[in-house]
Amino acid sequence: MIPLDGQPILTAGEMRAAEEATMVAGTSVDTLMERAGEGVAVAVHRLAAGADIVILCGPGNNGGDGYVAAAALHRMGAAVRVAASGAPASPAAVRAAARWHGPVEALAQAEPATILVDALFGTGLSRPLADEVAAPLHRLARAARLRIAVDVPSGVGSDDGAVLGAATCDITLALEAAKPAHLLQPAAQACGTVRLIPIGVPVVSHTHVLSSPLPEGERDMACVAPSITLPTPGPNSHKYTRGMVAIVAGGMAGASELASIAAMRAGAGYVLHLGEGQGPPHALVRKIFSADALQDARIGAIVVGPGLGRDDATRRMLDASLAAHRPLVIDGDALRLIDPTTIPAGSILTPHGGEFSHLFGQEGDKITRTRRAAAQTGAVIVHKGPDTVIAAPDGRVTVAGEGSPWLSTAGTGDVLAGAIGAMRAAGLDPFAAAGAGVWLHGAAARRLGPAFIADDLADALSAVRG
């Protein structure tokens, strides 16, 4: 069982194409189903620790995996039963079902078990679950102590993360690759903890789960997405090579203060706070805002938008920021003021859902929408939320799975903007800087645990810098 960190994410269509290519290369669908079912059985056997198991099998290949797993668990000596929503329909599922020699209970009358394995529908689900399937699924899920989904919980939209009747599971065993539903809400919540079971289908994708930073030596050995890097000072570093970040302050001073402190704590060598105000930290360099102050060629990133306000004066500050021709992180109010056709290529935009819809509309799933917005603007888009999607104009996407729901507190977005500014000013390209900032932000939140405030989060960035 492999964690999702850095793994490719494939849509149902991409997964089918990868599976077909594997079959053309000589591996039969039965072999793939065998590997899937055996892998699921090994994991379930370990998780069940001797408790009784009921496997719910659907009509397609997800159900086929269930029958294979049931036969394998029986061979392992587990107390396993099968309940089916109907007869197997796909040819491979028919062959798999023939290998299960025990009784098959009707789903509607199935007795509960301590361990529920949900193999009703996988990536092939094409419409919401009918009541006659959803009702017994939920009844059996409520009665079980542990709920394990095969590939995806039955009743989620694999590509868009919609919930179409699924019962919430504790563990999802994803076959070969992550699917968007494992990361995108609300389906991700129905998945519980997601672990991968490899089944020997080579997969490539432009979409990956955001990976943790890996130490230098381990990078080539890990067969995952390019890992993120956190820029670290060397013996010859000085404050400007570590990155100078200018933060444009506006009417709501606290927000830009948070961004400034976050930039410092994320590792910037020099943070220039352009606005009124005084007080600690003493290392923060404060200057009144002027267009001239943004002309300093050493500035490696300008963060504009946190607490900026939306009046004519702040619009001029945004215009001056755009005219400075320095790398930009555009957040908050600046996302409401900006004309999307004037966004300089190479900028990083950090919209939450509302800001994103205002700029780019709402059509399509979150990954597709974000990728399209990046291609349209030439900017890296960090589409925030419990399932933050980061898209580059060239089509690369990473999705951050593990945040912390405690991030849903005022000011945490300002902290993120500052952290990304620090990464960009240190020389990372916009996509890498966005990924590094989002990772630092999530890691700091997880470290803090419950009920922190944005000020704590900014401070905690130092501790997860590594």
Binding residues for K(+): 62, 118, 154
- C-alpha 190 chain-centroid distance: 15
CB atoms within 10 A of CB 89: 13
Q: Does 125 bind ligand NAX (CB under 6 A)?
A: yes
Burial of residue 208, with CB atoms counted within 10 A of its CB: 0-12 exposed, 13-18 middle, 19 or more buried: buried
Indicate the residue among 62 and 207 with the shorter CB distance to K ion: 62
Residue type at position 364: G
Beta strands 348-349; 380-383: pairing state = parallel
67 binds, among ligand NAX, K ion, ligand ADP, none (CB under 5 to 8 A by kind): none
267 three-state secondary structure: coil
Q: Does 190 bind ligand NAX (CB under 6 A)?
A: no
Q: Does 227 bind ligand NAX (CB under 6 A)?
A: no
Per the listing, tokens 């780019």 go with 360
Tell me how far apart the alpha carbons of residues 62 and 12 are, in angstroms, rounded to a whole number: 13
Candidate residues 36, 82, 92, 150; the one interacting with K ion per rule CB under 5 A: 150
Tell me how far apart the alpha carbons of residues 396 and 392 are, in angstroms, rounded to a whole number: 5
Candidate residues 223, 405, 462, 466; the one interacting with ligand ADP per rule CB under 6 A: 405
Q: Are 49 and 77 in contact (CB under 8 A)?
A: no
Q: Does 435 bind ligand ADP (CB under 6 A)?
A: no
Token code pair at residue 108: 């509607």
Tell me how far apart the alpha carbons of residues 247 and 294 are, in angstroms, rounded to a whole number: 10
How long a stretch of residues is the chain?
466
Q: Does 230 bind ligand ADP (CB under 6 A)?
A: no
39 binds, among ligand ADP, ligand NAX, K ion, none (CB under 5 to 8 A by kind): none
Q: Which of residues 437-466 bind ligand ADP (CB under 6 A)?
A: 441
Q: Which stretch binds K ion (CB under 5 A): 98-106, 115-123, 351-359, 435-443?
A: 115-123
Tell me how far apart the alpha carbons of residues 139 and 108 are, in angstroms, rounded to a whole number: 10
By rule CB under 6 A, what string of x and - marks binding of each residue 328-357 to ligand ADP? ----x-------------------x-----
Indicate the residue among 326 and 383 with the shorter CB distance to ligand ADP: 383
Residues 34, 37, 38, CA angle at the centre, nearest 5°? Answer: 80
Q: Does 90 bind ligand NAX (CB under 6 A)?
A: yes
Residues at the site binding ligand NAX, with contacts judged by CB under 6 A? 15, 19, 32-33, 36, 58-65, 89-90, 121-127, 129-130, 150-151, 175-176, 199, 201
Q: Site residues (CB under 6 A) for ligand ADP?
A: 332, 352, 384-386, 388, 403-405, 407-408, 410-414, 416, 441
Catalog residues that contact K ion under the rule CB under 5 A. 62, 118, 149-150, 154
